[in-house]
Amino acid sequence: MAEKLRIGWIGTGVMGLSMAGHLQDAGHSLTVYNRTRAKADPLLAKGAQWADTPRQAAANADVVFTIVGYPQDVESVILGEEGVLQGLPSGGIVCDMSTSSPSLAERIAEAALLQSCLSLDAPVTGGDVGARNATLSIFVGGDKDGYERLESCFKSMGKNILHCGGPGFGQKAKLANQVAIAGVMFSVCESCLFAQEAGLDVVQWLELVVMGAAGSKAMDTLGRRILKNDFAPGFFINHFIKDLGLCLEECRRMQIVLPGIGLAEELYRSMQARGQGNLGTQALIDCLASLSGKHWQQHSS
Domain-located, residue 223: yes
**Do both 96 and 185 map to the same domain?**
no
Residue 300, pLDDT score: 87
CA distances 175 to 51, 123, 261, Å, are 31, 9, 11
Q: How far apart are CA 105 and CA 182, in angstroms?
A: 23
Per-residue pLDDT band at 64 (split at 50, 70, 90): very high
Q: What is the pLDDT of residues 268-299, one digit of tens each?
A: 999 999 999 999 999 999 999 999 999 999 99
Q: How far apart are CA 225 and CA 285, in angstroms?
A: 11
Q: What is the domain extent for residue 47?
A: 6-166
**Do both 126 and 16 map to the same domain?**
yes
**Do both 46 and 29 map to the same domain?**
yes
Rounded to 5°, the CA angle 10-14-15 comes to 60
Annotated catalytic sites, by residue? 174
Q: What is the pLDDT of residues 180-232, one digit of tens each?
A: 999 999 999 999 999 999 999 999 999 999 999 999 888 999 999 999 999 99
**Do both 249 and 217 map to the same domain?**
yes
Q: What is the pLDDT of residues 119-131, one digit of tens each?
A: 999 999 998 889 9
Instruction: Provide the number of structural domains found in the chain.
Output: 2
CATH number at residue 96: 3.40.50.720
Q: What is the pLDDT of residues 134-177, one digit of tens each?
A: 999 999 999 999 999 999 999 999 999 999 999 999 999 999 99
- Domain stop point among 120, 150, 166: 166
pTM: 0.91
- 3-class DSSP state of 118: strand
Domain-located, residue 297: no
**Do both 79 and 221 map to the same domain?**
no
Contacts by residues 154-162 (CB-CB < 8 Å, ≥ 24 positions apart)? 154/122, 156/22, 156/23, 156/25, 156/26, 157/19, 157/22, 157/23, 157/124, 157/131, 158/124, 158/126, 158/130, 158/134, 159/134, 159/135, 160/136, 161/137, 162/137, 162/138
- Domain stop point among 103, 133, 166: 166
Q: Could you give the dihedral angle defined by the CA atoms of residues 23, 29, 31 and 32, in that order, rounded to the nearest 10 degrees?
A: 20
- Domain stop point among 166, 198, 215: 166
Residue 82, pLDDT score: 98
Domain-located, residue 301: no
